[in-house]
Copies of this chain bind each other. A is one copy, B any other.
Amino acid sequence: MRNVAIVGIGQTPVGELWEKSIRHLGHDAVVAAMHDAGIETADALYVGNMLSGELAGQEHLATLIADFVGLRGIEAAKVEAACASGAAALRVGVMAVASGQADVVIVAGVEKMTDTPIDETTAGLALAADQEYEVAEGATFVALNAMLMQRYMHEYGVSHRDFAPFPINAHANARNNPFAMFRSPITLDKYEKATVIAPPINILDSSPVCDGAAAVVLVPLERAREFGRHKRIVRVAASVTATDTIAIHDRRDPLFLEAAYLSSQRAYAQAGLGPEDIDLFELHDAFSIMSVLSLEACGFAPRGRGIELGQSGAITLGGKIPITTMGGLKARGHPVGATGIYQVVEAVQQLRGEAGANQLPHAHVAMTQNIGGSGATIITHILVGEE
């Protein structure tokens, strides 16, 4: 098995990009990543996407984008794992290079969510939940997360305002990210007065519906120096998917993200590292509650005390475990199938020292975690910057 390196990154701005069709979004991110890697062709393109059929009227998306960027003939496939589709596609790319089946692989995450009426988009997102056991009973995706947040508050005696540091931190970090959707800071007061969507979740607990695309270029580590002109090569030190039952009522413990635990433990073992070695953690803050549960399951805090990492400032750029350093799902935006690749692109920016005003002084090891459904598919990558 060969080691794999990331030698190119690209992204589009995240937002309501009505002037771009899904093929154009994919094109823009792929071309940017190819330019960054200094390549003109590739062996394969894997595209992470959840809802192109339902919301953009197009399946067969990877082949469409491969042709549209001028790579007609290469291998192409779309990979879907609900909101974890981006990282699922990255895993396929890693396996393609590791197995020797391909040398230069592009992995893109692409999603177009704002060209449809919001009720159609909401119905699309609910396809990540269990249709027969959850959606048929009337549960939307926000409602499922609201039940988790309510349960957490009840079990651990915390209040809704205790979650405020998570979206406040995300918005503060997005301010310096030119690709982020929401670059305006928010305050505790604003958080407390925000419109409630599904109690206790309010609009500032929730990541936005939006469009966007991001891409990375993978090559064998031993060939990485041939590509790009970057001081640092980023090595994929771990790549792991774990799953859980989709329907929350069937989980052993709804407040413990078992798939995050399994996925992060296996990733730590693959990389030969532990939570204490992680310099930044791009986690899946689709809702504030998910940040807290992820931090706990991955070993950054004991059960019921992940919330304190917000209160203490540990999650900020100057803290012990900085998260969502470029704005996260909450403020950079959450174009669902693209998110897993945005996380990796931003982690690479940090590891390369290209994160601008948000640059962490000691960013050598980054962890990214992409979640599908309310915790059913969880994919963890550990990336290491090498001189």
Q: Which A residues lie at the B interface, using CB under 8 A? A: 1, 21, 23, 44, 50-51, 53-54, 56-64, 66-67, 72-82, 88, 91-92, 94-96, 98-101, 124, 127-132, 135, 239-246, 250, 258-259, 262, 372-373, 376-377
Contacts and interface: CB of A to CB of B under 8 A. Distances in A.
Contacts of A44: 241
13 contacts: A53-B53, A56-B131, A57-B135, A59-B80, A60-B246, A60-B376, A72-B244, A73-B259, A76-B243, A76-B377, A79-B92, A95-B99, A99-B100
Given A95-B92, A127-B53, A373-B63, A245 B132 contact: no
A106 to B, nearest CB: 13
Contacts of A96: 95
Contact of A77 (B53, B88, B131): B88
B73 A243 contact: yes
A1 B99 contact: yes
A208 to B, nearest CB: 20
A165 B79 CA distance: 37
A376 B101 CA distance: 21
Contact of A72 (B64, B72, B245): B245
Contacts of A23: 132
Contacts of A377: 60, 63, 76-77
A81 B91 contact: no
A243 B74 contact: yes
Contacts of A95: 92, 95-96, 98-99, 101
Nearest to A47: B80
A288 to B, nearest CB: 22
A74 B242 CA distance: 5
Contacts of A91: 75, 77
A244 B63 CA distance: 8
For the complex of A and B, 7 pairs with smallest distance between CB atoms: A99-B99, A98-B99, A59-B127, A75-B241, A60-B82, A1-B100, A95-B95
Contacts of A135: 57
B78 A79 contact: yes
A352 to B, nearest CB: 26
Nearest to A45: B243
For A59, A88, A262, the residue with the greatest tally of chain B CB atoms inside 10 Å of its CB is A59
A244 B56 CA distance: 21
Nearest to A247: B67
A80 B58 CA distance: 12
Contacts of A79: 77-80, 92
A78 B77 contact: no
A311 to B, nearest CB: 32
Contacts of A131: 56-58
A243 B66 contact: yes
Nearest to A132: B21
A53 B127 CA distance: 7
Given A95-B92, A101-B98, A373-B60, A242 B127 contact: no
B81 A130 contact: no
A94 B370 CA distance: 24
Given A74-B243, A91-B77, A60 B127 contact: yes
A302 B279 CA distance: 60
Given A59-B82, A78-B81, A80-B80, A64 B246 contact: yes
For A57, A64, A94, A377, the residue with the greatest tally of chain B CB atoms inside 10 Å of its CB is A64
A24 B21 CA distance: 36
A101 B90 CA distance: 14
